[in-house]
Structure 1
Amino acid sequence: MKQLLQTILEPMLEYPGALHIKSEETQHNVSCRIEVHDDDVGRVIGKGGRVIKAVRTIVSNANHGSSKKVFVDVD
């Protein structure tokens, strides 16, 4: 999951070195927290949240074989 998020997000960031992804997995869900440079937060969220919604959709579909729910948050 971390590698997929990194592959999606790095090309769109102005400061890709500041990208940090923390992933926690429990019995019922997977939680990924994305930390980026302050100038890149808008790029990750997108206008009206379109970009982060698309990222969440991709990550959820990549985890389709598992019954765990995936959460992606931006800090």
Structure 2
Amino acid sequence: MKNLVEVLVKSLVENPDAVVVNEVTAEQSITLELRVAADDMGKVIGKQGRIAKAIRTVIKAAAAKENKRVILEIIQ
């Protein structure tokens, strides 16, 4: 999951070196904390949160195959 989020987000932003994803694992859920540069925050979230919602949809579909629950938090 962590690699999937990194690949998706790094392709969207102008400063891919600033992309950091931390993975916090629990029994049935995984929390991914995404940090990007302040200038790239709008590109990751998108208008009305559409891009963020699309990223969450993709990782939830990938997590469904592993019977896990994934939460993506975008942190500034």
| TM range, smaller chain | over 0.9
Gaps of 5+ in 1: none
**Counterpart in 2 of 1:26?**
26
Aligned identity (percent) is 31
**Counterpart in 1 of 2:45?**
45
Q: Distance in 2 between matches of 1:62 and 1:42?
A: 24
Q: Secondary structure at the match of 1:23?
A: strand
Moved over 4 A (4+): none
With the length of structure 1 as denominator, give the TM-score of the two structures: 0.94
Structure 1 residue 12: Cα displacement:
1.0
**Counterpart in 2 of 1:2?**
2
With the length of structure 2 as denominator, give the TM-score of the two structures: 0.93
Counterpart AA for 1:45: I
Q: Distance in 2 between matches of 1:12 and 1:57?
A: 16
**Counterpart in 1 of 2:66?**
66
With 59-68 and 10-19 compared, the bigger mean Cα shift is at 59-68
Q: Secondary structure at the match of 1:67?
A: coil
Aligned length: 75
Structure 1 residue 22: Cα displacement:
0.3
Structure 1 residue 67: Cα displacement:
2.7
Q: Distance in 2 between matches of 1:43 and 1:50?
A: 10
